[in-house]
Structure 1
Amino acid sequence: MSNSDVFRPDLNVRPEPLDYPFNNHESLEVSARYKCLRDSPTLSRVRLPRGDPAWLVIDYDLARIVLNDPRFSSAAIPGRSVPRQSNFPADPNLLTLNDQDHTRLRGLITKNFTKKRIERLRPQVRAHARQLIAGMKDSGPPADLVENYAIPLTLHVICEILGVPRPDRARLRLWSEAQFSTNSLAAEETELRSRQLNDYLVGLVAARRAAPSDDLLTDLINAREDDDRLSEAELLVVTRELLFAGYETTSNQIANFTNFLTDRPDIWRSLRDEPQHLEATIEELLRFVPVMAGAGSMPRYALVDVVLGTTQIAAGDVVLVSIGASNRDGQEFPAPDVFRVDRDRNRHLAFGHGRHHCLGIALARLQLQEALSALALSFPNLSVGEIHWKNQVMRGPRTMMVNW
């Protein structure tokens, strides 16, 4: 689609900023406020919890522009604090690097984190899912799906990939959970856990340098591109990124998607009876059920004056892309608020778009496919009981009791 197609003359701007984020973290719904904005202006001014102003994009075509256009950058601007959708600062990650460093690092990583390499893990993921389900059956219902399935499955997989020793994995979980906390932890505790995680990863990298192993971390240490290598600081950023993408996000999605599907028994049964539709079902879940309470993407800065739609964005302005709302744009997705497995073209933005798309796409898809398929095969009558939700930027149950 050409740029002329997305510059729509009917887009206006609300004069008063709206408090953001909109979504309730104790729900899987997309806030109705997005729909109200779509019916009038598409580009709105919002105010984040700490008072930072931003432009909000909920239009699919405009979202793709912001996510991939070099005139917008997620790298922090010197002298300015990064706008936050929660009360605590985010740790450095690939998205906060400047474009040159980001491109360089992605090139070094993707050579070793390929779809082919991930696909080789499928038998191991399937076997571990079955093992966890067997344990749930032995203990009998009810069971906490988060504690007994979603977390141990995804944590096991990413730790196996990175080469994290089994005795260290419980601590790793404790530290990593703090990264997505909003007010469930004090700021001092969040910062302490972040430092502890960094210290641990420094030691893990040093240990792997001294004793290389057959794992991704060793491959990243040895990765080269024209004599270029990852620095120590870059290795830490990359390892944290892979850890969160491979564990925290996907474990939330397993629980969220199970909760969503068990309310729709016909779709749940189809995972067992019509496995040929499994991949399409996962893609529609990714489109329909947003995992983030906020925008779902890092803030972008306009590097130059830009006209987005018909809205003038000044250089230095912050732009947020709501992934969940953009995935409900009727211009791209017919009947956007209807869950449809048979969509002809499901170009959702759940993994981002363009040069900043998620590195863990293949791993996330594989884990979701195997996790949900195994559950549906083993528990055709699974039902969800009491849920206690996390109070985090990333939406998901802290505990979710299930019966079968």
Structure 2
Amino acid sequence: MRIVVCCTLPAYPPIGGAPLRIWGTIQWLQKFAETGVFSLAGSGPPPPGIAESAWCGIGSPARMETSSDWMRRPNGVPSDGYYDERAVEAFRHFVLGFKPDAIVLETIWLHRYYDAIRDAGIPLILNSHNVEIDVARQVEAIETSGPLRLQRRILSERIRRVEEALVRAAEQIWLCSQEDGEIMRREYGITTPMHHVPNAVNPAEYQVACARPAEIAPNSWPVLLFPALYHYYPNVNAAHFLIHELLPRLGPQYPDIRLLLPGANPPPALVAEAKDPRVSVPGVVPEMLPYLRQSSVLAVPLKHGGGTRFKIIEAFAARLPVVSSLKGAEGLGAIPGRHYLRAETAEEFEAAVRQVLDHPARAAELVEEGARFAQQLWEEAGAAMRASIGAFHVS
């Protein structure tokens, strides 16, 4: 069987949640299908394991719109910014040459490319990283500005139309959690076959990388880590919680404590927090593993959002203790107290972080269970994709 994975982002190297899910999908598909990759933003050589003839990375400048221009267009959405006529032609040419039996569309944000898929008569598998209408409504609900809340409401309505059209057009839908599947069926009333393909990373890549000399020298002081994409409102809120509520509580006992906030698009207000010598906001980083290696605890105080949290899965694979809110670990299936320590308030986060820092034996228990869980997720993701493709091929 021949499959093309179609994505907006560079397929490799993966930094952050969406690229990690895309890369995991590509790695597993290569084991049981001839796999091609079309990447809107990718350029340069193909990802590892992908032949030149199976790779089309066009380096398009098309990006998600950051202005409100989308509101002025009938049914416009920010993801219209990904549309590039040259990319559509490149996609049509690539598909014509590769002749895939199916196309895996990574997220709904390439919805403007569906016409080319339909015109080619190629069945569609939608790899849904989130139920986007659910995320949009959560963000709308916490918006306090009247005009912005109206904008969020309009966006929610339009995202729903985009998502519904694609889930109804797809032959299969891959979802990262059982909860997302329930939300999607309830929202759209669809009978499209759904497969739970959990978010996962290849633990072997983390074991090999962790065996290399650290690119960032390990420190003797405690280091808290929260990597994220900071154009996403819930992540910014979580970062401010760590800076203004957790650090002041931990500072008296751990005067040399550090907080690392790597990730793309930090807003100016967050960048300004780096004036505090304890806080680092480096922006985009070429690799996350050095930050995982030098950290003492992954702290995830998320209150809103969707999908499942790759930052936690990466920490498990890298054998880093995790303290998270229930929302932060939502959809993973990880068990509080076994795989991670749960905390919701500043007081609870303080107590949980202290438990990890002051009790090495307890921290060791958590990382062992977390590493086993990361391996389990990786194997489950592969089995789910294999079953999905097998059923697809039979049909």
Give the TM-score range, shorter chain: under 0.3
Bigger relative CO (Cα 8 Å, ≥ 6 apart) = 1
Given the two structures, how large is their TM-score scaled by the length of structure 1? 0.25
